Amino acid sequence: KAGVTQTPRYLIKTRGQQVTLSCSPISGHRSVSWYQQTPGQGLQFLFEYFSETQRNKGNFPGRFSGRQFSNSRSEMNVSTLELGDSALYLCASSLKSSGNTIYFGEGSWLTVV
Amino acid sequence: TQLLEQSPQFLSIQEGENLTVYCNSSSVFSSLQWYRQEPGEGPVLLVTVVTGGEVKKLKRLTFQFGDARKDSSLHITAAQPGDTGLYLCAGYKTGTASKLTFGTGTRLQVTL
């Protein structure tokens, strides 16, 4: 059974640009959540989607947004990139929402220059 | 403010030694999970504990959930170089079921 797949794995963007990251969950999983990992802040929850609806949101500015499609695949978008957005962005999927075990992808490394 | 504080932050030990990593909070968690993350990869789930006082063993790793469900510990017996990595505790805080809160992390290095 294929794991969580994230694309792209690595990308470099310039300040002010926007970026879209993609996540394909494990087959059958309907919940997708996104996390940002930085050396200083550790792993921070961004948002969680279940059945195309955002169920929960972390404390990030509105420049960070996401969506989920009917096939459970998800995308997150960061607009007007700042240097501090450089991080590993991790996607995780689970069967359902609410306290289930989540499985992480390998992440997308974003560098903003 | 980190809801889950891990200690120690860094640990460098020799093969064969024992170690314990702590994960503490003032909040109650409905469940708590431990992950290991290796460089360039996403975190991999090791165990989930849900009952206060619960102890789970995974080969040389022993996990314990505090009676009040506010803290947890991970004990590794006879550490091996393959145990090297970043250990993360994470929990679902009561009332925020879909939002997993991660600990500050413990970076373990085991040398020969």
Residue A99 has pLDDT above 70, yes or no: no
Would the CB atoms of B97 and A107 count as touching at under 8 Å? Answer: no
Other C-beta atoms within 10 Å of B60: how many?
13
User: What region does B70 belong to: left with phi over 0, alpha with psi -120 to 50, or beta?
Assistant: alpha
Sequence-distant (≥ 6) Cβ neighbours of residue B90 within 8 angstroms: A43, B4, B32, B33, B34, B35, B100, B101, B102, B103
Per-residue confidence band for A97, with pLDDT thresholds at 50, 70 and 90: low
Mean pLDDT, rounded, for A66-88? 97
pLDDT of residue A83: 97
- Measured CA to CA, the distance from residue B35 to residue B46 in angstroms comes to 5
Under the banding of pLDDT at 50, 70 and 90, the label for residue B11 is very high
Please, what sign has the CA dihedral across residues A88, A78, A5, B96? positive
* Residues of chain A with C-beta less than 8 angstroms from the C-beta of B104: 42
* Better pLDDT: A26 or A95: A26
For residue B48, what is the nearest residue in chain A, using CA coordinates?
A101
The two tokens of residue B77 are: 């017996």
Q: Are A74 and A49 in contact (CB under 8 A)?
A: yes
Hunting for tokens 């590794």 — which residue is that? B76
Q: From A111, A108, A110, select the one nearest A9 (Cα to Cα).
A: A108
Q: What is the pLDDT of residue A42?
A: 87
- Indicate the residue of B43, B97, B99 with minimum beta-carbon distance to A45: B99
Q: Could you tell me how many CB contacts below 8 A there are between chain A and chain B?
A: 59
CA-nearest residue to A40 within chain B is: B104
Instruction: Answer yes or no: is pLDDT of A56 > 90.
Output: no
How many helices, marked H, and strands, marked E, lie in chain B? 0, 11
* Tokens standing for residue B63: 């996990």
Query: Two tokens at A79?
Result: 């607009």
Contact A11, A76 (CB under 8 A): no
Which of A44, A99, A104 lies closest to B92 in CB terms? Answer: A99
- Determine the pLDDT at residue A101: 81
- Which of B72, B77, B84, B78 is CA-nearest to residue B5? B72
**Chain A residues in contact with B35 (beta carbon < 8 A):** 104
CA distance to partner chain A, nearest, from residue B100 (Å): 7
Query: Which of B3, B16, B105, B90 is closest to A104 using CA atoms?
Result: B90
Confidence band, pLDDT 50/70/90 cuts, at residue B9: very high
Look at residue A74 in the predicted model and tell me its pLDDT.
Answer: 98
Nearest in space to B68 (alpha carbons), one of B27, B22, B20, B23: B27
Residue A40: its pLDDT value, please? 82
For B16-45, the pLDDT digits (tens) are 999 999 999 998 988 899 999 998 889 999
Residue window 21-60, chain B: list those with CB within 8 Å of chain A. 30-31, 33, 35, 40-45, 48
Of B97, B98, B104, the CB nearest to A42: B104
Per-residue confidence at A96, pLDDT binned at 50, 70, 90? confident
pLDDT at A70 over 70: yes
Instruction: State how far residue B93 is from chain A, nearest Cα, in angstroms.
Output: 9
- For residue A1, pLDDT over 70 is answered with no
